[in-house]
Chain A
Amino acid sequence: MSMNPSVPKINLSNVYKKFNTDLQNAHPVLGDVSLHIVENEFVVLLGRSGCGKTTLLNIIAGLEIASSGIVQVDGVDVMGPGRGKGMVFQQGALFPWLNAEQNIQFAARKQGLNVEQSKELSQKLLLLVGLAGAEKKYPFELSGGMQQRVAIARALALDPQILLMDEPFGALDELTRIEMQNELLRVWSLQQKTVVFVTHSIWEGLMLADRIIVLAPRPGRIVLEKKIDRQRPRKRSDRLLIELYEEIWNALQ
Protein backbone atom coordinates (compact mmCIF):
# COMPACT_ATOMS: atom_id res chain seq x y z
CA MET A 1 0.00 0.00 0.00
CA SER A 2 1.18 3.49 -0.71
CA MET A 3 2.13 5.31 2.43
CA ASN A 4 0.57 8.49 1.23
CA PRO A 5 -2.24 8.57 -1.31
CA SER A 6 -0.74 11.57 -3.02
CA VAL A 7 2.60 9.85 -3.59
CA PRO A 8 2.46 8.00 -6.90
CA LYS A 9 3.23 4.31 -6.82
CA ILE A 10 5.91 4.70 -9.42
CA ASN A 11 7.60 8.02 -9.99
CA LEU A 12 9.87 8.60 -12.94
CA SER A 13 11.22 12.13 -13.32
CA ASN A 14 13.54 13.26 -16.08
CA VAL A 15 14.92 9.80 -16.56
CA TYR A 16 17.85 9.83 -18.93
CA LYS A 17 19.77 6.78 -20.03
CA LYS A 18 22.75 6.45 -22.28
CA PHE A 19 24.82 3.33 -22.76
CA ASN A 20 28.58 3.51 -22.36
CA THR A 21 29.10 1.78 -25.64
CA ASP A 22 27.17 4.38 -27.59
CA LEU A 23 29.13 6.81 -29.68
CA GLN A 24 29.55 10.36 -28.48
CA ASN A 25 26.88 11.99 -30.55
CA ALA A 26 24.36 9.15 -30.76
CA HIS A 27 20.89 9.65 -29.34
CA PRO A 28 20.43 8.36 -25.80
CA VAL A 29 18.21 5.33 -25.28
CA LEU A 30 16.03 7.43 -23.00
CA GLY A 31 16.05 11.19 -23.06
CA ASP A 32 14.06 12.95 -20.36
CA VAL A 33 11.20 10.59 -19.63
CA SER A 34 8.78 11.57 -16.88
CA LEU A 35 5.87 9.43 -15.77
CA HIS A 36 3.72 8.97 -12.70
CA ILE A 37 1.93 5.70 -12.21
CA VAL A 38 -0.82 5.43 -9.64
CA GLU A 39 -1.51 2.44 -7.45
CA ASN A 40 -3.38 -0.44 -9.08
CA GLU A 41 -3.17 1.25 -12.42
CA PHE A 42 -2.57 -0.89 -15.51
CA VAL A 43 -0.13 1.04 -17.67
CA VAL A 44 1.05 -0.09 -21.09
CA LEU A 45 4.32 1.11 -22.59
CA LEU A 46 3.99 0.89 -26.35
CA GLY A 47 6.41 1.47 -29.16
CA ARG A 48 8.61 0.01 -31.85
CA SER A 49 11.76 -1.94 -31.14
CA GLY A 50 14.52 0.33 -29.97
CA CYS A 51 12.28 3.02 -28.48
CA GLY A 52 13.60 2.28 -25.02
CA LYS A 53 10.49 0.73 -23.53
CA THR A 54 12.29 -2.38 -22.31
CA THR A 55 15.14 -0.27 -20.94
CA LEU A 56 12.61 1.84 -19.08
CA LEU A 57 11.01 -1.26 -17.64
CA ASN A 58 14.39 -2.61 -16.58
CA ILE A 59 15.16 0.68 -14.90
CA ILE A 60 11.93 0.53 -12.92
CA ALA A 61 12.78 -3.06 -12.03
CA GLY A 62 16.20 -2.06 -10.84
CA LEU A 63 17.97 -4.33 -13.29
CA GLU A 64 19.47 -1.31 -14.99
CA ILE A 65 20.41 2.06 -13.62
CA ALA A 66 19.37 5.37 -15.15
CA SER A 67 22.20 7.67 -16.15
CA SER A 68 20.34 10.48 -14.44
CA GLY A 69 16.89 11.32 -13.16
CA ILE A 70 14.64 10.11 -10.39
CA VAL A 71 13.30 6.57 -10.23
CA GLN A 72 11.14 5.85 -7.21
CA VAL A 73 8.69 3.27 -6.05
CA ASP A 74 6.51 4.33 -3.10
CA GLY A 75 8.57 7.46 -2.75
CA VAL A 76 11.77 5.48 -2.24
CA ASP A 77 14.60 5.43 -4.75
CA VAL A 78 14.98 2.17 -6.61
CA MET A 79 18.31 0.60 -5.66
CA GLY A 80 18.19 -2.82 -7.22
CA PRO A 81 16.02 -5.66 -8.44
CA GLY A 82 13.65 -7.66 -6.28
CA ARG A 83 12.03 -6.26 -3.17
CA GLY A 84 8.50 -6.39 -4.35
CA LYS A 85 9.03 -5.68 -8.03
CA GLY A 86 7.84 -8.86 -9.65
CA MET A 87 8.72 -9.36 -13.28
CA VAL A 88 7.60 -11.57 -16.14
CA PHE A 89 9.83 -11.93 -19.18
CA GLN A 90 9.10 -12.87 -22.74
CA GLN A 91 10.87 -16.20 -22.64
CA GLY A 92 13.19 -18.52 -20.91
CA ALA A 93 12.96 -17.30 -17.37
CA LEU A 94 11.54 -20.41 -15.77
CA PHE A 95 14.13 -22.65 -14.16
CA PRO A 96 14.21 -25.74 -16.36
CA TRP A 97 15.45 -28.02 -13.59
CA LEU A 98 12.44 -27.32 -11.40
CA ASN A 99 8.88 -28.29 -12.15
CA ALA A 100 6.02 -25.79 -12.18
CA GLU A 101 5.27 -26.10 -8.50
CA GLN A 102 8.93 -25.83 -7.50
CA ASN A 103 9.45 -22.77 -9.65
CA ILE A 104 6.67 -21.01 -7.80
CA GLN A 105 7.86 -22.32 -4.48
CA PHE A 106 11.25 -20.79 -5.17
CA ALA A 107 9.67 -17.36 -5.11
CA ALA A 108 7.41 -18.20 -2.19
CA ARG A 109 10.34 -19.37 -0.07
CA LYS A 110 12.06 -16.06 -0.73
CA GLN A 111 9.07 -14.41 0.86
CA GLY A 112 9.85 -16.22 4.06
CA LEU A 113 7.22 -18.92 3.81
CA ASN A 114 8.16 -22.36 5.02
CA VAL A 115 7.90 -25.49 2.91
CA GLU A 116 4.25 -26.27 3.62
CA GLN A 117 3.07 -22.72 3.26
CA SER A 118 4.91 -22.28 0.00
CA LYS A 119 3.46 -25.50 -1.37
CA GLU A 120 -0.01 -24.31 -0.44
CA LEU A 121 0.55 -20.96 -2.04
CA SER A 122 1.90 -22.47 -5.24
CA GLN A 123 -1.15 -24.71 -5.55
CA LYS A 124 -3.42 -21.75 -4.99
CA LEU A 125 -1.64 -19.72 -7.63
CA LEU A 126 -1.59 -22.54 -10.14
CA LEU A 127 -5.32 -22.83 -9.68
CA LEU A 128 -5.62 -19.09 -10.17
CA VAL A 129 -3.78 -19.15 -13.49
CA GLY A 130 -5.76 -22.17 -14.63
CA LEU A 131 -3.04 -24.79 -14.32
CA ALA A 132 -4.36 -26.93 -11.50
CA GLY A 133 -2.97 -30.43 -12.06
CA ALA A 134 0.18 -29.34 -13.83
CA GLU A 135 2.23 -28.94 -10.67
CA LYS A 136 4.69 -31.67 -11.38
CA LYS A 137 5.30 -30.79 -14.98
CA TYR A 138 8.62 -29.40 -16.06
CA PRO A 139 8.83 -26.33 -18.29
CA PHE A 140 9.90 -28.36 -21.28
CA GLU A 141 6.71 -30.35 -20.96
CA LEU A 142 4.52 -27.28 -21.08
CA SER A 143 3.35 -25.24 -24.04
CA GLY A 144 4.43 -21.63 -24.43
CA GLY A 145 1.17 -20.31 -23.05
CA MET A 146 1.32 -22.60 -20.06
CA GLN A 147 4.92 -21.62 -19.36
CA GLN A 148 3.93 -17.99 -19.26
CA ARG A 149 1.11 -18.78 -16.87
CA VAL A 150 3.62 -20.40 -14.56
CA ALA A 151 5.86 -17.37 -14.93
CA ILE A 152 3.00 -15.10 -13.92
CA ALA A 153 2.11 -17.32 -10.98
CA ARG A 154 5.73 -17.29 -9.89
CA ALA A 155 5.92 -13.50 -10.02
CA LEU A 156 2.67 -13.30 -8.03
CA ALA A 157 4.09 -15.63 -5.39
CA LEU A 158 6.34 -12.78 -4.37
CA ASP A 159 3.22 -10.87 -3.36
CA PRO A 160 4.73 -8.00 -5.26
CA GLN A 161 3.89 -4.32 -5.04
CA ILE A 162 4.15 -3.95 -8.74
CA LEU A 163 4.15 -6.35 -11.64
CA LEU A 164 6.42 -5.60 -14.56
CA MET A 165 5.84 -7.48 -17.79
CA ASP A 166 8.20 -7.36 -20.74
CA GLU A 167 6.28 -8.46 -23.83
CA PRO A 168 5.18 -11.58 -21.98
CA PHE A 169 2.97 -12.84 -24.79
CA GLY A 170 5.26 -11.90 -27.63
CA ALA A 171 6.42 -15.43 -28.29
CA LEU A 172 2.95 -16.90 -28.45
CA ASP A 173 0.70 -17.45 -31.43
CA GLU A 174 -2.17 -15.03 -32.00
CA LEU A 175 -4.94 -17.17 -30.54
CA THR A 176 -3.02 -18.12 -27.42
CA ARG A 177 -2.03 -14.50 -27.08
CA ILE A 178 -5.63 -13.29 -26.95
CA GLU A 179 -6.45 -16.03 -24.49
CA MET A 180 -3.57 -15.02 -22.27
CA GLN A 181 -4.61 -11.37 -22.38
CA ASN A 182 -8.01 -12.33 -21.03
CA GLU A 183 -6.41 -14.58 -18.43
CA LEU A 184 -4.18 -11.76 -17.30
CA LEU A 185 -7.12 -9.40 -16.91
CA ARG A 186 -9.02 -12.02 -14.94
CA VAL A 187 -6.09 -12.64 -12.60
CA TRP A 188 -5.51 -8.93 -12.23
CA SER A 189 -9.09 -8.31 -11.27
CA LEU A 190 -8.73 -10.87 -8.47
CA GLN A 191 -5.34 -9.67 -7.29
CA GLN A 192 -5.16 -5.94 -7.56
CA LYS A 193 -1.62 -4.87 -8.45
CA THR A 194 0.05 -2.01 -10.21
CA VAL A 195 1.05 -3.31 -13.64
CA VAL A 196 3.50 -1.91 -16.15
CA PHE A 197 3.22 -3.84 -19.39
CA VAL A 198 5.52 -3.46 -22.38
CA THR A 199 4.39 -4.37 -25.88
CA HIS A 200 4.69 -3.42 -29.50
CA SER A 201 1.16 -4.46 -30.33
CA ILE A 202 -1.30 -1.56 -30.39
CA TRP A 203 -4.32 -3.83 -29.97
CA GLU A 204 -2.81 -5.57 -27.01
CA GLY A 205 -2.32 -2.19 -25.38
CA LEU A 206 -5.88 -1.11 -26.16
CA MET A 207 -7.35 -4.30 -24.74
CA LEU A 208 -5.42 -4.17 -21.52
CA ALA A 209 -4.52 -0.66 -20.45
CA ASP A 210 -5.98 1.97 -18.18
CA ARG A 211 -3.45 4.25 -19.74
CA ILE A 212 -1.26 3.83 -22.82
CA ILE A 213 2.11 5.51 -23.00
CA VAL A 214 3.50 5.66 -26.52
CA LEU A 215 7.25 5.98 -26.91
CA ALA A 216 9.39 6.86 -29.90
CA PRO A 217 13.10 6.25 -30.37
CA ARG A 218 16.13 8.42 -30.96
CA PRO A 219 16.00 9.78 -28.39
CA GLY A 220 13.63 7.53 -26.42
CA ARG A 221 10.78 9.76 -25.27
CA ILE A 222 7.05 9.81 -24.65
CA VAL A 223 5.11 11.09 -27.65
CA LEU A 224 1.58 10.28 -26.61
CA GLU A 225 -0.33 9.47 -23.48
CA LYS A 226 -3.93 8.29 -23.57
CA LYS A 227 -6.33 7.28 -20.84
CA ILE A 228 -8.75 4.54 -21.78
CA ASP A 229 -12.00 4.90 -19.92
CA ARG A 230 -13.66 1.73 -20.93
CA GLN A 231 -14.80 -1.26 -18.97
CA ARG A 232 -13.12 -4.54 -19.68
CA PRO A 233 -13.49 -6.88 -21.49
CA ARG A 234 -13.35 -4.56 -24.46
CA LYS A 235 -14.49 -5.12 -28.02
CA ARG A 236 -12.41 -4.49 -31.11
CA SER A 237 -15.46 -3.04 -32.76
CA ASP A 238 -15.65 -0.26 -30.17
CA ARG A 239 -15.48 3.07 -31.97
CA LEU A 240 -13.47 4.74 -29.23
CA LEU A 241 -10.83 2.06 -29.47
CA ILE A 242 -10.67 2.31 -33.26
CA GLU A 243 -10.15 6.05 -33.01
CA LEU A 244 -7.47 5.58 -30.43
CA TYR A 245 -5.84 3.04 -32.69
CA GLU A 246 -5.63 5.57 -35.49
CA GLU A 247 -4.24 8.19 -33.20
CA ILE A 248 -1.60 5.89 -31.80
CA TRP A 249 -0.71 4.57 -35.22
CA ASN A 250 -0.08 8.09 -36.43
CA ALA A 251 1.97 8.91 -33.39
CA LEU A 252 4.19 5.95 -34.17
CA GLN A 253 5.08 7.08 -37.69
Chain B
Amino acid sequence: MNDFHFQSMFKKINLYGLMGILILLMVWELSARWIWQDIQVLPSPIQCMDMAWQVLTVQELLMHIATSLSRILIGFTFAAVIGVGLGIAVGWYQYLGLAFKPILELLRPIPPLAWIPMAIVWFGLGESSKWFVIFLGSFFPIFTNAWRGMVGIPPVILRAAQTMDVKGFELLLKVAIPAALPDIATGLRVAFGLAFGILVAAELIASDSGLGYLIMQSRETSRLGVAIFGILLIGLLSMLADGILARLLKKFVSRGRY
Protein backbone atom coordinates (compact mmCIF):
# COMPACT_ATOMS: atom_id res chain seq x y z
CA MET B 1 0.00 0.00 0.00
CA ASN B 2 2.61 2.52 -1.06
CA ASP B 3 0.24 5.38 -1.82
CA PHE B 4 -0.92 5.34 1.77
CA HIS B 5 2.48 6.41 3.02
CA PHE B 6 2.77 9.09 0.39
CA GLN B 7 -0.56 10.56 1.37
CA SER B 8 0.24 10.88 5.03
CA MET B 9 3.63 12.38 4.31
CA PHE B 10 2.07 14.93 2.02
CA LYS B 11 -0.35 15.83 4.70
CA LYS B 12 2.34 16.29 7.29
CA ILE B 13 4.34 18.84 5.35
CA ASN B 14 1.21 20.16 3.69
CA LEU B 15 2.94 20.20 0.37
CA TYR B 16 -0.22 21.47 -1.15
CA GLY B 17 -0.05 24.54 1.03
CA LEU B 18 3.49 25.20 -0.03
CA MET B 19 2.47 24.72 -3.61
CA GLY B 20 -0.20 27.30 -3.08
CA ILE B 21 2.30 29.80 -1.78
CA LEU B 22 4.69 29.18 -4.63
CA ILE B 23 1.93 29.69 -7.17
CA LEU B 24 0.97 32.94 -5.47
CA LEU B 25 4.54 34.19 -5.46
CA MET B 26 4.89 33.38 -9.11
CA VAL B 27 1.70 35.19 -10.01
CA TRP B 28 2.86 38.20 -8.03
CA GLU B 29 6.28 38.19 -9.64
CA LEU B 30 4.95 37.97 -13.15
CA SER B 31 2.14 40.45 -12.79
CA ALA B 32 4.42 42.95 -11.09
CA ARG B 33 6.93 42.75 -13.87
CA TRP B 34 4.63 42.61 -16.84
CA ILE B 35 1.41 44.30 -15.82
CA TRP B 36 2.15 46.94 -13.23
CA GLN B 37 5.68 47.69 -14.15
CA ASP B 38 5.91 50.38 -11.55
CA ILE B 39 8.45 49.65 -8.96
CA GLN B 40 7.13 52.49 -6.86
CA VAL B 41 3.72 50.96 -6.58
CA LEU B 42 4.09 47.22 -6.75
CA PRO B 43 7.56 45.77 -6.79
CA SER B 44 7.86 42.09 -7.47
CA PRO B 45 9.12 39.79 -4.74
CA ILE B 46 12.58 39.75 -6.20
CA GLN B 47 12.64 43.50 -6.58
CA CYS B 48 11.61 43.83 -2.96
CA MET B 49 14.45 41.68 -1.82
CA ASP B 50 16.76 43.67 -4.00
CA MET B 51 15.68 47.00 -2.53
CA ALA B 52 15.96 45.67 0.97
CA TRP B 53 19.41 44.37 0.24
CA GLN B 54 20.50 47.76 -0.99
CA VAL B 55 19.22 49.73 1.93
CA LEU B 56 19.82 47.49 4.87
CA THR B 57 22.79 45.73 6.20
CA VAL B 58 22.26 42.43 7.88
CA GLN B 59 23.32 44.02 11.13
CA GLU B 60 20.75 46.77 10.91
CA LEU B 61 18.03 44.32 10.11
CA LEU B 62 18.94 42.08 12.98
CA MET B 63 18.98 45.04 15.31
CA HIS B 64 15.50 46.08 14.28
CA ILE B 65 14.25 42.53 14.64
CA ALA B 66 15.86 42.22 18.04
CA THR B 67 14.37 45.49 19.21
CA SER B 68 10.89 44.55 18.11
CA LEU B 69 11.10 41.06 19.57
CA SER B 70 12.46 42.26 22.85
CA ARG B 71 9.63 44.72 23.22
CA ILE B 72 7.10 42.00 22.60
CA LEU B 73 8.77 39.59 24.95
CA ILE B 74 9.01 42.03 27.80
CA GLY B 75 5.48 43.34 27.50
CA PHE B 76 4.10 39.86 26.98
CA THR B 77 5.97 38.29 29.86
CA PHE B 78 4.74 40.94 32.27
CA ALA B 79 1.23 40.43 30.98
CA ALA B 80 1.56 36.67 31.25
CA VAL B 81 2.80 36.68 34.81
CA ILE B 82 0.36 39.26 36.10
CA GLY B 83 -2.50 38.12 33.92
CA VAL B 84 -2.26 34.46 34.85
CA GLY B 85 -1.64 35.25 38.49
CA LEU B 86 -4.51 37.67 38.74
CA GLY B 87 -6.80 35.48 36.67
CA ILE B 88 -6.22 32.53 38.94
CA ALA B 89 -6.63 34.60 42.09
CA VAL B 90 -9.79 36.26 40.88
CA GLY B 91 -11.24 32.99 39.66
CA TRP B 92 -10.54 31.20 42.89
CA TYR B 93 -11.51 33.81 45.46
CA GLN B 94 -15.00 34.89 44.59
CA TYR B 95 -14.98 38.19 46.42
CA LEU B 96 -11.83 39.31 44.70
CA GLY B 97 -13.62 38.56 41.49
CA LEU B 98 -16.59 40.70 42.38
CA ALA B 99 -14.40 43.57 43.45
CA PHE B 100 -12.17 43.61 40.41
CA LYS B 101 -14.81 42.87 37.85
CA PRO B 102 -16.26 46.34 37.27
CA ILE B 103 -12.92 48.06 36.81
CA LEU B 104 -11.62 45.44 34.47
CA GLU B 105 -14.85 45.26 32.50
CA LEU B 106 -14.58 49.00 32.10
CA LEU B 107 -11.05 48.88 30.79
CA ARG B 108 -11.22 45.69 28.79
CA PRO B 109 -13.16 46.84 25.72
CA ILE B 110 -10.79 49.74 25.16
CA PRO B 111 -8.70 48.79 22.15
CA PRO B 112 -5.05 48.37 23.11
CA LEU B 113 -3.87 50.89 20.55
CA ALA B 114 -6.09 53.54 22.10
CA TRP B 115 -3.74 53.45 25.07
CA ILE B 116 -0.83 54.71 23.02
CA PRO B 117 -1.38 58.43 23.67
CA MET B 118 -1.69 57.85 27.43
CA ALA B 119 1.33 55.60 27.31
CA ILE B 120 3.30 58.45 25.78
CA VAL B 121 2.05 60.85 28.43
CA TRP B 122 3.03 58.54 31.28
CA PHE B 123 6.16 56.97 29.89
CA GLY B 124 7.47 59.21 27.18
CA LEU B 125 8.53 57.99 23.76
CA GLY B 126 11.00 55.41 24.98
CA GLU B 127 10.91 51.69 25.40
CA SER B 128 8.64 51.65 28.42
CA SER B 129 5.68 53.12 26.58
CA LYS B 130 5.88 50.27 24.09
CA TRP B 131 6.14 47.74 26.90
CA PHE B 132 3.11 49.29 28.53
CA VAL B 133 0.92 49.13 25.45
CA ILE B 134 1.92 45.57 24.65
CA PHE B 135 1.36 44.67 28.27
CA LEU B 136 -2.15 46.07 28.22
CA GLY B 137 -3.04 44.46 24.95
CA SER B 138 -1.78 41.06 26.04
CA PHE B 139 -3.05 41.31 29.58
CA PHE B 140 -6.77 41.16 28.92
CA PRO B 141 -6.98 37.99 26.84
CA ILE B 142 -4.61 36.23 29.23
CA PHE B 143 -6.47 37.41 32.30
CA THR B 144 -9.94 36.71 30.92
CA ASN B 145 -9.03 33.22 29.78
CA ALA B 146 -7.31 32.37 33.03
CA TRP B 147 -10.32 33.60 34.95
CA ARG B 148 -12.74 31.68 32.80
CA GLY B 149 -10.57 28.63 33.03
CA MET B 150 -10.71 28.73 36.80
CA VAL B 151 -14.42 29.40 36.91
CA GLY B 152 -15.08 26.69 34.38
CA ILE B 153 -13.48 23.84 36.27
CA PRO B 154 -16.01 21.01 36.50
CA PRO B 155 -17.09 20.97 40.16
CA VAL B 156 -16.91 17.15 40.21
CA ILE B 157 -13.17 17.30 39.95
CA LEU B 158 -12.88 19.56 42.97
CA ARG B 159 -15.32 17.47 44.93
CA ALA B 160 -13.47 14.30 44.08
CA ALA B 161 -10.23 15.86 45.31
CA GLN B 162 -11.90 17.03 48.49
CA THR B 163 -12.97 13.48 49.25
CA MET B 164 -9.28 12.67 49.15
CA ASP B 165 -8.55 15.21 51.87
CA VAL B 166 -7.17 17.79 49.51
CA LYS B 167 -8.10 21.31 50.49
CA GLY B 168 -7.14 24.95 50.61
CA PHE B 169 -3.95 25.92 48.91
CA GLU B 170 -3.11 22.35 47.95
CA LEU B 171 -6.45 22.08 46.18
CA LEU B 172 -5.68 25.23 44.25
CA LEU B 173 -2.18 24.27 43.30
CA LYS B 174 -2.52 20.59 42.60
CA VAL B 175 -6.01 20.32 41.19
CA ALA B 176 -7.57 23.63 40.19
CA ILE B 177 -4.69 25.16 38.29
CA PRO B 178 -3.86 22.05 36.29
CA ALA B 179 -7.52 21.76 35.39
CA ALA B 180 -7.58 25.35 34.15
CA LEU B 181 -4.33 25.02 32.23
CA PRO B 182 -5.78 24.48 28.73
CA ASP B 183 -7.73 27.70 28.94
CA ILE B 184 -4.74 29.56 30.29
CA ALA B 185 -2.71 28.25 27.39
CA THR B 186 -5.31 29.45 24.91
CA GLY B 187 -5.22 32.90 26.43
CA LEU B 188 -1.46 33.02 26.14
CA ARG B 189 -1.52 32.06 22.51
CA VAL B 190 -4.17 34.53 21.56
CA ALA B 191 -2.45 37.31 23.45
CA PHE B 192 0.87 36.57 21.82
CA GLY B 193 -0.64 36.86 18.37
CA LEU B 194 -2.22 40.15 19.32
CA ALA B 195 1.03 41.41 20.76
CA PHE B 196 2.67 41.36 17.35
CA GLY B 197 -0.03 43.47 15.81
CA ILE B 198 0.05 45.93 18.68
CA LEU B 199 3.79 46.22 18.58
CA VAL B 200 3.92 46.97 14.90
CA ALA B 201 1.25 49.61 15.21
CA ALA B 202 2.99 51.21 18.16
CA GLU B 203 6.24 51.26 16.26
CA LEU B 204 4.58 52.81 13.24
CA ILE B 205 3.07 55.56 15.28
CA ALA B 206 5.69 56.48 17.80
CA SER B 207 9.08 54.94 17.47
CA ASP B 208 12.50 55.31 15.93
CA SER B 209 13.58 51.73 15.86
CA GLY B 210 12.16 48.31 15.26
CA LEU B 211 10.45 46.69 12.32
CA GLY B 212 7.39 48.93 12.39
CA TYR B 213 9.58 51.97 12.23
CA LEU B 214 11.49 50.41 9.37
CA ILE B 215 8.34 50.01 7.35
CA MET B 216 7.19 53.53 8.07
CA GLN B 217 10.58 54.92 7.16
CA SER B 218 10.74 53.22 3.82
CA ARG B 219 7.62 55.00 2.75
CA GLU B 220 9.27 58.31 3.31
CA THR B 221 12.26 57.30 1.31
CA SER B 222 9.85 55.81 -1.24
CA ARG B 223 11.44 52.42 -1.15
CA LEU B 224 8.28 50.41 -1.09
CA GLY B 225 10.11 47.18 -1.59
CA VAL B 226 11.66 47.54 1.83
CA ALA B 227 8.23 48.09 3.33
CA ILE B 228 6.85 44.98 1.69
CA PHE B 229 9.89 43.06 2.78
CA GLY B 230 9.35 44.25 6.33
CA ILE B 231 5.66 43.40 6.24
CA LEU B 232 6.29 39.88 5.06
CA LEU B 233 9.08 39.46 7.55
CA ILE B 234 6.79 40.42 10.40
CA GLY B 235 4.16 38.00 9.15
CA LEU B 236 6.71 35.22 9.00
CA LEU B 237 8.16 35.97 12.42
CA SER B 238 4.69 36.09 13.89
CA MET B 239 3.81 32.69 12.45
CA LEU B 240 7.08 31.17 13.60
CA ALA B 241 6.76 32.60 17.08
CA ASP B 242 3.21 31.33 17.38
CA GLY B 243 4.32 27.90 16.25
CA ILE B 244 7.06 27.81 18.84
CA LEU B 245 4.74 28.99 21.57
CA ALA B 246 2.14 26.42 20.58
CA ARG B 247 4.73 23.66 20.78
CA LEU B 248 5.96 24.83 24.16
CA LEU B 249 2.46 25.07 25.55
CA LYS B 250 1.53 21.67 24.23
CA LYS B 251 4.45 20.13 26.04
CA PHE B 252 3.64 21.91 29.22
CA VAL B 253 -0.08 21.62 29.20
CA SER B 254 -1.36 18.49 27.60
CA ARG B 255 0.85 15.96 29.19
CA GLY B 256 -2.40 14.18 29.82
CA ARG B 257 -5.13 14.54 27.24
CA TYR B 258 -7.95 16.64 28.55
Residues of A within 8 A of B (CB): 20-21, 24
Instruction: Please name the residue on chain A nearest to B3 by beta carbon.
Output: A20
With a cutoff of 8 Å between Cβ atoms, the chain B residues found around residue A21 in the complex are 4
**A20: chain B residues within 8 A (beta carbon):** 1, 4
User: Contact residues of B with A, CB < 8 Å?
Assistant: 1, 4
A172 to B215, CA, bound (A): 61
Specify the chain A residue showing the minimal Cβ separation from B8.
A21
Who on chain B is nearest to A20 by CB? B4
Which chain A positions have C-beta within 8 A of B1? 20, 24
Instruction: Specify the chain B residue showing the minimal Cβ separation from A21.
Output: B4
How close is A18's CB to chain B, nearest CB, in angstroms? 10
How far does the alpha carbon of A20 sit from the alpha carbon of B4 in the complex, in Å? 7
4 A–B pairs (Cβ distance < 8 Å), ordered by A: A20-B1, A20-B4, A21-B4, A24-B1
User: How many residue pairs bridge A and B at CB < 8 Å?
Assistant: 4
- Chain A, residue nearest B1 (CB): A24
Q: Roughly how many angstroms separate A21 CA and B1 CA in the complex, as a whole number?
A: 10
A20–B3 alpha-carbon span in the complex (Å): 10
| 4 smallest beta-carbon distances between A and B, as pairs | A20-B4, A24-B1, A21-B4, A20-B1
B4: chain A residues at CB < 8 Å are: 20-21
Least distance between A25 CB and chain B CB atoms (Å): 11
A160 CA to B224 CA, complexed, in Å: 67
- Provide the bound-state CA to CA distance between A99 and B1, in Å: 47
> Shortest beta-carbon distance, B189 to chain A, in Å?
29
- Please measure, in the bound complex, the distance between the C-alpha atom of A175 and the C-alpha atom of B4, giving whole angstroms: 46
Q: A20–B6 Cα gap in the complex (Å)?
A: 13
Closest to B7 in A: A20
Give Cα distance in the complex from A24 to B4, angstroms.
11
Q: How far is the CB of B4 from chain A (nearest CB, A)?
A: 6
Write out the residue numbers on chain B whose beta carbons fall within 8 Å of the beta carbon of A24: 1
Q: Nearest chain B CB to A237's CB is how many angstroms away?
A: 37
B69 to chain A, nearest CB (A): 41
Q: State how many angstroms separate the Cβ of A19 from the closest Cβ of chain B.
A: 10
- Complex alpha-carbon distance, A24 and B5, angstroms: 12
A20 to B1, CA, bound (A): 9
Chain A nearest Cβ from B7, distance in angstroms? 9
CB distance from B6 to the nearest CB of A (A): 12
Q: How far is the CB of B12 from chain A (nearest CB, A)?
A: 14
Whole-angstrom CA separation of A109 from B40 in the bound complex: 60
In Å, the complex CA distance between A3 and B199 comes to: 75
Inter-chain CA distance A13–B41, complex, in Å, is 69
A241 to B4, CA, bound (A): 47
Instruction: Tell me, rounded to whole Å, the shortest Cβ–Cβ distance linking B11 to chain A.
Output: 12
In the assembled complex, the Cα of A162 lies from the Cα of B26 at a distance in Å of 55
Report how far A20 CA is from B5 CA in the complex, Å. Answer: 11
Taking the nearest CB of chain A, how far is it from the CB of B39, in angstroms?
51
Rounded to whole angstroms, the CA-CA distance of A21 and B8 in the bound complex is: 10
Give Cα A24 to B1, complex, Å. Answer: 8
